[in-house]
A and B are shown apart, each in its own frame.
Chain A
Amino acid sequence: MLELIEAALRRPNLVAFVLLLLWGLYITITHHNYVKKLVGLYIVQTSVIFFLVATGFKEGATVPVITGGNDDYVNPLPQVLTLTAIVVQIATLGVSLGLVSRIYRKFGSLDEDEVLEKLG
């Protein structure tokens, strides 16, 4: 147990990632409001992006451009992946907000229980 905590403390980024992921999942599952569900989903997606950025981090390294001075470079690929993942996340958010706004206009409510009640 102690080793586990020690290993976790050496990687605070990963602890933050796991907490964010679980928090987001919890919100998505427990809340009945559609917008809050989306907030949870957004946190889950962000936590994954945070993980990608965190794995690419290297202390004291610079951009991968050869300048002759510092030879320690950061691998730029995780950041490129992150960029694409953010675009995908935004597209998902756009579609989901579009759906939510149509649900609201149709049923006059954002609460899952009320909407299901109206559907019968």
Chain B
Amino acid sequence: MSRKKTTKKRSKKTAKRRLSKKSAVAKHSRWKLLWRFSLFIFGLGLGMLLPWALILNQTVKEGFEGLTWERPSRVYARPLSLYSGLQISAQDLETELRSAAYRKSSNPSIPGSYSQQGNRFRIISRAFEFADGKQSSQRIELQLQAGVVSKIQDIDLNTLSLVRLDPAEIASIYPLDKQDRELVPLEDAPHLLVAGIQAVEDRRFNQHHGVDPKAIARALWVDIREGRIEQGGSTLTQQLVKNLFLDSSQTIIRKLNEAIMAVLMELHFSKSEILEAYINQVYMGQSGAYAIHGFARAARFYFDQSLQQLNTEQIALLIGMVKGASWYNPRRNPERALKRRDLVLQVFADTGLIDKPGLHAALQRPLGVSKQANGLKIKASGFIDLVKRQLRERYAESDLRREGLKILTTLEPVTQLAAEKAVAEGLDDLTARGLPKQLQAAMIISDVQNGEIHALVGDRVAGSRGFNRALDARRQIGSIMKPLVYLLALEHPEQFNLLSKLEDTAVDIRLANGDHWVPKNYTNKTHGTVSLLDALVHSWNLASVDLGMKFGPTHILQSLQRYGLSVEALPVPSLILGALELTPLEVSRIYQSLASGGYSVPLRAVTAIVAEDGALEESFRLTMTPLQNRQAVAVLNYALTQVVAEGTAQALPALMGRPIIIAGKTGTSNDRKDSWFVGYNNQRLGVVWVGRDDNKPARVTGSSAALRLWAKAFRGLSMADWRADYPRGVELHWVEPSSFSLTDANCPDAVAIPFINTYLPENKSECLQAKSTQGGKLWNWFDRKTKTQEN
């Protein structure tokens, strides 16, 4: 710039001097000089320009060839499978749809939309690449009846047995440059977008060589007329070059560089390569800390839709936004955006991309931008934390941030929301009841059968990214340890059954270090000789110590290893009462194997990882290990249903607002610092911990705090009754608990409880003795079962 100005000045001076001599010769030599001088300047310019151009050439070539965009990985919830017989309420189905950013409409016409009339849903799912292959969009009609899917049909009224909806996107793992992008190959971009962007931004894209002199001239003319720099006149290539390699300053040097680089780019790369880069690079707005780049991500961000599904006016809006993504932001500046969109639509019509009726129809329609908080944005930060930890075992952090992986997880939106709500509201309730304000909680809900984690909450504030108590809070487990001790006993059916006698009396145990351990019952009362069943159901400490000491702390500690836990704890007698610290996740792991009837299944948060191109990158297989003690587990599970029926968790049905059969166990640690509740049926396992981070007394008990949160979470979730399914060798027998003896179904106080093989109580009730002498016979299995149910 400065160089040019000085040369101009100098030539003017020269001209002045020479002009005074008014001869033809002088005139001639003057022109000659001017010509020479110009040549010199030109040569100088060329000499300097050439190396400069070479440098730019290198930048363009290497920069564009090595152009690899980092694409964030997306984390998805589990997809909802719909089939006849599925239990789901209309409300929950709607929650699922909204969390997957489905839009409600009276007449759904595009993928990702639905309508609802009472129990009747019409849904258009989006296409999605699952671990087992790509699934295309489906239009379905679904009928619910009393909270159960009764019918699913396609638009031709064919019955469909199974439909899988595309899952909710619950998080992204972004590149460090904070660019949010979804790549789309040029051939997959809608024709209207590709043609439209040229019509609006660069009509002669296919003719020019990077720079369009006509457009520049026109822009220059406008600028001069308006007296300011407004019109760009930049080609798409120039815009791309600017976005990729240059800053956005408005200097001539930058413009010059841009022009040279654009020409160079066209020299090295094809029009389609440039266009493809353009549609993936263009800046389209800001989502919090992340910059939206490219049309594909913009389509998701503004319309919750894939690029291919956008209609005319949506494409027009996005193209319009290229001129200024924040100025024309349709969420913040809807009127401005609408004006711009309509202008673009007009250009579409003028260039023949759309016809007149198409134009008029599109002009009539609203912007159609989704609300940013469309429906439900699931926070689930505690769960995402677990996902990341599981991924880090196999993936480098950098790969997760740039490879555009699809991470398919096990999160159930409805369950997660219920858990988050239960923790937040439940703790507020407890505070209102006079418990400390500092209470914190963790909750994990998992699938008993396949170990999939449906919900995980690690903080009372959903979305908090701080300390994840579900994974990291190592707390004393208290009485939820007891079932593991009782299980050890039941594994020796020749010695122990549910009616075995235990002594619930004061003990004084001398420890190795010379101290004395004098455990007490919670109520400070003793109960004398009690059955193993009663001791567990009422969580009596002294009877449990009596039982536990028969095995010894070392043996008990060792038994924990079969749950895959390497627990660091001292083999002290207080272990029997739960003097042992575990995280809620570890507790879930232990109880999963009990709830499933003795099949240990690793807990999973991730099921599969799908690469950007749809190839299955990795699947986290379902694995299981049958434990050897399945008979004992079945008997234990019966006892734990009694904890809820008549023991320490008997408040549960009332808290749930309905009668329910659940297996469960409450736990309270010393000084009431920790409150635990573990409850399960054959499908789901819920583990809840409540306490204070500073480990000070929280004045909580298992039944006062954790149980309430558990009930709050499961109140709204479908939770069937526990179904006892006794393995071979476990049978129900009628007993009279008060006398620890066998009895007859028709005798008073008869209860049917499970026993392993032929290891039955030796005593017979008086009633049974009387009957036996009358020639009583064994009841067959079916009769017994019916009678149990009557009871």
A binds B: no
